[in-house]
Amino acid sequence: MKKSLLCIVSLLIVLSMLLTACAPAAKTDTAVKESATKEPAASKNVGLQMDSAKVAPQFFNDADYEESLKQMSMQPLNPDAPVYLQYLVENPTDISKYPQYAEFAKKEPPYNVCFSNAGVNNPWRVVGYVDMREQVEELRAKGLIKNFYHLDAQGKDEKQIADIQDLINTPGKCDILIVASNTSEALTPIVEKACEVMPVVQFDRYAQTDCPVVSTRSIGGYAFGIAGAKFVVDQLGPQGGNVLAFRILPGVDVLEQRWGAARKIFEENPQINVIGVEFVGYDSFKANTVVQDYIDRFGKIDAVWMDAGGTAVSILDAFKDAGAKFPIIVGEDQNDFLKYWKENNLTGIAPTFATYQWRTAVLAAVMFLQGETVQKKWVLPQPVVTKDNLDKYFNPDMPPLHYAACGCEDMTNYPDAWKNVDINKYKDVIN
């Protein structure tokens, strides 16, 4: 009996050793411990040493960071266009570079558009999806779109790959493919394959390839991260304080860049003590317990930085429940947060990742097929909600999970389609 017990225990140990020995994180872990015991000062910014605080090199480079920083203060080059068609940089797609799409360019409307979607699995994506479908309905009314095939990958890379493979296998089904990748690296091979057989428009999360004819989103992750982190640093002032960082999920370019930019700024400001970096997804329950845990451990949290604001309100609730002072907070343009902000007079900021990019993707797809000029890298403006313009963005008539920067106010079904969301009502195929 004892023998087998010993056997099992030792096997378990060997297994865990094998894993940790090969793992890169283990080294930094011990490094942190060592430095922490040697000099107490090094225990500062302990959160930045956490594994969840790392940013893979393919997701961060200084040139893009600097470029985003510049774009944040740029004005759109076509200010008269509606916000979802404005662009900050001019780089039109050169159609002569895509001889393989010659046949597609000859097609007459109405077009069949395919959309491989990472998922409709969080409120931001719901609002964006409604934006998109309402835009499709308007284009259908104009006779520009016929079928709109929506393939929902439900947040799974493997399913999205198979979904796109199906579309590649059915030539003639799609005149153009729109892709919002679930994660960047995993989808790259299949998006490249899709580009070989049909024009591709990507938005939101990009695959790591520039084969699509249009890649569109608002400025992006760096700008989101910079706006929030700069605000935190400014508000905390020279004496600094404890910052707790929340992240949604790893492996997605826009989210990695948000954190990568914030991390850079926090590192440059040693008075900022990042006490933790935690992945909580959109799980408000988990977010709530994380706040409690950190209050237990560190006594006080001065500021909360988030890479997406979905759980902002339950985080603030957790502070309230714990009897703690509201922190300086970086949220997002979700309506419940804007409301909480206004009602409690918070010190807050809400960078946005504008949901109107979902409209832009459909419009760009149709414009490309019609031979109109489109921007290859279509950089949309990315508003930031601050104390000064809060009233412009907060709309008490809209539901709590609405996103303010939807650019949807000019659509036929506004505001009903956003107030009573029913994403099952949209038809892919029409006769």
Site string for other proteins, 50-79 (x = CB under 8 A): xxx-x-x-----------------------
Neighbours of 329 (CB within 10 A): 26
Distance CA(96)–CA(103), nearest Å, equals 13
Residue 411 host element (H or E): none
Residue nearer to other proteins on the CB measure, 289 or 373: 289
One of 142, 285, 300, 392 touching other proteins (CB under 8 A): 285
Q: How far is the CB of 134 from other proteins (least distance, A)?
A: 15
- Considering only residues 126 to 145 of the shown chain, the ones binding other proteins according to CB under 8 A are 126
Stretch that binds other proteins, among 3-11, 86-94, 263-271, 365-373 (CB under 8 A): 3-11
414 binds other proteins (CB under 8 A): no
**14 part of the interface to other proteins, by CB under 8 A:** yes
Rounded CA separation 91/96 (Å): 14
Biggest alpha carbon–alpha carbon distance for the chain: 81
DSSP E strand stretches across 334-393: 348-351, 377-380, 384-385
Virtual CA dihedral for 152, 114, 163, 423, nearest 10 degrees? 10
Kindly state whether residue 421 participates in binding other proteins, applying the rule CB under 8 A.
yes
Stretch that binds other proteins, among 6-14, 99-107, 223-231, 371-379 (CB under 8 A): 6-14
Residue 258 near other proteins by CB under 8 A: no
Q: Determine which residue in the list 113, 139, 161, 254 makes contact with other proteins, applying CB under 8 A.
A: 161
Question: Judged by CB, which is closer to other proteins: 134, or 163?
Answer: 163
- CA–CA distance, 302 with 96 (Å, rounded to integer): 55
Of the pair 183, 375, the CB lying nearest other proteins is at 183
Nearer to other proteins, 140 or 159 (CB): 159
Which of 237, 297, 345, 396 is in the footprint of other proteins by CB under 8 A? 297
- In the complex, the smallest distance separating the C-beta of residue 156 from other proteins, rounded to whole angstroms, is 5
Residues 79-118 that bind other proteins (CB under 8 A): none
Whether residue 193 contacts residue 168, with contact meaning beta carbons closer than 8 Å, is answered with: yes
- Indicate the residue among 24 and 40 with the shorter CB distance to other proteins: 24
Q: In this structure, are strands 145-152 and 214-218 parallel, antiparallel, or unpaired?
A: unpaired
- Name which of 1 and 63 has its Cβ closer to other proteins: 1
5 near other proteins, rule: CB under 8 A = yes
Per-residue x/- track, 26-55, other proteins (CB under 8 A)? x-----------------------xxx-x-
Question: DSSP letters along 81-134, please?
Answer: S-GGG--SS--B--GGG-GGGHHHHHPPSSEEEEEEES-S-SHHHHHHHHHHHH
Q: What is the dihedral of CA 344, 346, 352, 355, to 10 degrees?
A: 0
Total residues contacting other proteins by CB under 8 A comes to: 88
Q: What is the spatial order of strands in the sheet that 377-380 belongs to? A: 145-152, 111-117, 176-180, 200-203, 214-218, 377-380
Shorter beta-carbon distance to other proteins: residue 72 or 301: 301
281 binds other proteins (CB under 8 A): yes
> Would you give the binding string for other proteins spanning residues 197-216, x where CB under 8 A is met?
--------------------
Residues shown for the chain: 431
In the chain, % helix, strand, coil (3-state, to 5) comes to 50, 15, 35
**Range in contact with other proteins (rule: CB under 8 A) among 60-68, 165-173, 232-240, 354-362:** 165-173
Tell me if 25 contacts other proteins by CB under 8 A. yes
Residue 152 touches other proteins, criterion: CB under 8 A = yes
Strands (DSSP E) along 212-253, which ranges? Answer: 214-218, 241-247
β-bridge partners, 73: none
Sole binder of other proteins in the list 35, 265, 283, 413 (CB under 8 A): 283
